[in-house]
Chains A and B, each alone.
Chain A
Amino acid sequence: MLLELTLYFMLLSLISVGGMPSVLPELQRYVVDVKGWIMPEEFMQIFAVGQAAPGPNVLIASLIGWKVAGLGGALLALAAMCGPAAVLAWRVADLWERFKDSPWRKAVQRAIAPIVVGLILSGGFILATPGAPDWRLWAIAAASAAGMLLSKMNPLWLLAAGGVLGAVLL
C-alpha cells in the first residue's frame, strides 16, 4: 500500500500543474473512489485541517500518507509529491529564462492558464460536495468565495467563519 501510494504521488507530482488545488479532484478520485483508503467525509476533513494549519497546502498529501501508513507514509507522501516536480524545477529554471522571448513559452503560458482555472474550480466543487449535494455546504462555500472576492482579509478569517457556520448549520 505504501509503495503504491508513493508511486502514485510521484506520478501525480509530474502532472500537478497549478499545484495542489488542481490535483485535488484526481487525488480524491484515487484514494476515495478507486482505492477506498479514505472515506469521502474524511477526505474533506483532512483537507480542512490542511487548510487551517500553517504551511504549504501540499501537506494535505502528508496527511493522506499518515492516514494510510503512519509517519513513514506522511514523510514518503510529501517527498514523492514534491520530489519529481522539484527535479523538473531544478532543470527548467535556467531553460525558462533562456526562452524568455520565445513564442512557444508564451503559448505554453496561455495554454495552461484556462486548464488550471477549470481544475481549481473542480477541486472546489468536489470538496464542497463530499457526499450527496448538500445546500448548507454549498452556501458556506459560496459565502467564503464571495468574501474572498469582495475583501482583502486574511483567508484564515474566512475559514474561521466557515467553522462557525458549520457549528450552527450542520
Chain B
Amino acid sequence: MSVNPPNSLRELFLGFLSIGARSFGGVMPWAHRVMVEEQRWITEADFAETIGLCQFLPGPNIGNASIVFGKRWFGLSGALVAFLGLFGLPFIWVLALFALYADFAATNETLRAVVTGVGAAGAGLFIGTAVKLGRVIARRPAALALIAACFLAAGIGRVSLFAVLPIAFAVALVCARRGLL
C-alpha cells in the first residue's frame, strides 16, 4: 500500500478537523479511519507504532499523536495545526452541550437522572477497558499485585497520584528488569 502524506498545512488541518468533528464514542477509531483508510497518510503499522508510543507518554493519547505526526510532516507549525484541528470543534461542542445541560438540569429531575446514568455507564466503560487491558498481563502474579495495589491506593484509599505513581513505577521497573512482568 502506498502512502501519501499531507501536502499542505491546510490538508493536515482539515484531516484532523474531520477526525475531531466525527469522533462520537471515541477518537481513536476515527483517527485510524481518516489517517490510514481515507487519506492514506500513514501505514497501518506506523499508526499502531505511534499510538503505542503515545499510550506510554503522559498526556491525552490522541493529542500526543497529533503532535508527533504534525511534527513529522511540517515541524512546529504542523504540530500546532494538527492539534488545533483536532480540538477546535470538540472544544466548542462540549462547552455548548454542558451550558445547555446546566440550563435545563436545574429544574429537570429526569434529565439529571439520565445524565447520572450516562456517567455510570461511562464509568463502566473504564472498568471494561481495564479488564480488557488487564487480561493480557494479569497472568503474572507481580502484575496482578501491582494492579491491585494501585487500585487500593488510588481508588479506595484516595492517595494522591503524585505519591502513587513514582512509588509504583519504581517497584514495577525493578520487577520488569527481573523478568517478573
User: Restricting to A79-130, which residues have a CB under 8 Å from any CB of B?
Assistant: 81-82, 84-86, 88-90, 92-93, 96, 106-128, 130
Q: Is the interface of A mostly helix, strand, loop or mixed?
A: helix
**Cβ proximity bits A20-45 to B, threshold 8 Å, 1 near / 0 not:** 11111110010001000000010011
Q: How far is the CA of A93 from the CA of B125 in the complex (A)?
A: 29
Among B94, B126, B133, B176, point to the contact of A127 (Cβ < 8 A): B126
Number of cross-chain contacts by CB at 8 Å: 363
A48/B122 contact (C-beta < 8 A), A58-B60, A63-B98, A93-B71 known: yes
Q: Which of A33, A140, A155 contacts B117 (CB 8 A)?
A: A140
Q: Which residues of A contact B150 (CB under 8 A)?
A: 114-115, 117-119, 121-122
A117 near B130 (CB under 8 angstroms)?
yes
Tell me if A121 and B64 are in contact (CB < 8 A). Answer: no
CB of B124 within 8 A of CB of A116, answer no
Bound complex: CA A21 to CA B59 (Å): 10
Contact at A55–B120, with CB atoms within 8 Å? no
Interface size on B, residues (CB 8 A): 90
Main secondary structure of the interface of B (DSSP, over half): helix
- Interface extent on A, as a size class? 35 or more
Binding site for A on B (CB under 8 A): 20-27, 53-64, 67-68, 71-72, 79, 83, 86-87, 89-91, 93-95, 97-98, 101, 105, 110, 112-134, 137-138, 142-144, 146-151, 154-156, 158, 160-162, 164-165, 168-169, 172-173, 175-177, 181
Write the residues of chain A forming the contact surface with B, with a CB cutoff of 8 angstroms.
11-26, 29, 33, 41, 44-59, 62-63, 66, 71, 74, 78, 81-82, 84-86, 88-90, 92-93, 96, 106-128, 130, 137-138, 140-149, 154-156, 158-167, 169-170
